[in-house]
Amino acid sequence: MSQELWTAVDSYLCRTLVPSDEALDAALRASEDAKLPSIQVAPNQGKLLAILAQSIGARAILEVGTLGGYSTIWLARALPADGKLITLEIDPKHASVAQENITRAGLGGIVEIRLGSALETLPKATAEGHIFDFVFIDADKASTTEYFQWALKMSHPGSLIVVDNIVRKGGVTDPESTDASVKGIQRFIETFKDDPRVTMTGLQTVGSKGYDGFALALVNSV
């Protein structure tokens, strides 16, 4: 099995089950025109995030790692009209492309982009007393453990936390890896594998984005 086949299957699934629309297309075009890295979730993954958020009745969502706001748009659309999504981004250029994409999608009223390192904006959001039903962690992988710790502080029993890119082409199995992203994910899994506050699983995925995976954690207690 090959990348070519995975891409063909994703293209079939997205064509049949994940119709695109003007706002999503425009967001991808604007991100490409601004030369942002093309590492956003695939359309069918974006829809998975939206289904997960909707299925728990999420009214408040936190995202760590905005990029051009593509996953943000999927998640914000899963919210009710009076919902709220806070998304954290360190790169001012990414944040400004995302702001335009989100506004164009008609989601400017429920999405707030917070510029800065998540290691600084997460403690601030915690101090403000925010509580989230759903968290998507998708920034620099080296600090995933810290992002998850802050996410737990802003969760309630029943909150769902999704972590992107936990497989990295299988690199996660290599205990000798020197890759900072791989080491960050390994540290995250080691830190929380026996933590009774969460029920967590990990899934491998293949598709148009290659070979990677997600962790899903249901919060039991905080």
Q: Which is nearer to ligand DHB, 77 or 94 (CB)?
A: 94
User: What is the C-alpha separation between 217 and 106, in angstroms, rounded?
Assistant: 30
DSSP state of 174: -
Identify the residue among 10, 164, 205, 215 touching ligand DHB (CB under 6 A): 164
Token pair 């942002």 in the structure block, residue:
36
With tokens 């995925």, the residue in question is: 205
- Quick check: 154 binds ligand SAH (CB under 6 A)? no
Q: Using the minimum distance from each CB to Mg ion, give the nearer residue, 64 or 125.
A: 64
Instruction: Verify binding: residue 41, ligand SAH, rule CB under 6 A.
Output: yes
Among 117, 173, 199, 204, binds ligand SAH (CB under 6 A): 117
Q: Which of 99, 121, 143, 165 binds ligand DHB (CB under 6 A)?
A: 165
Stretch that binds ligand SAH, among 18-26, 65-73, 125-133, 190-198 (CB under 6 A): 65-73
CB 219 within 8 A of CB 192: no
- Burial class (CB within 10 angstroms; exposed 0-12, middle 13-18, buried 19+) of 127: exposed
Task: Kindly state the smallest distance separating residue 67's Cβ from ligand DHB, in Å.
Answer: 8
Residue holding tokens 């997460």?
A: 122
Beta carbons of 34 and 56 less than 8 angstroms apart: no
Write out the residues near ligand SAH by the rule CB under 6 A.
Answer: 39-41, 65-67, 70-71, 88-91, 94, 117-119, 138-140
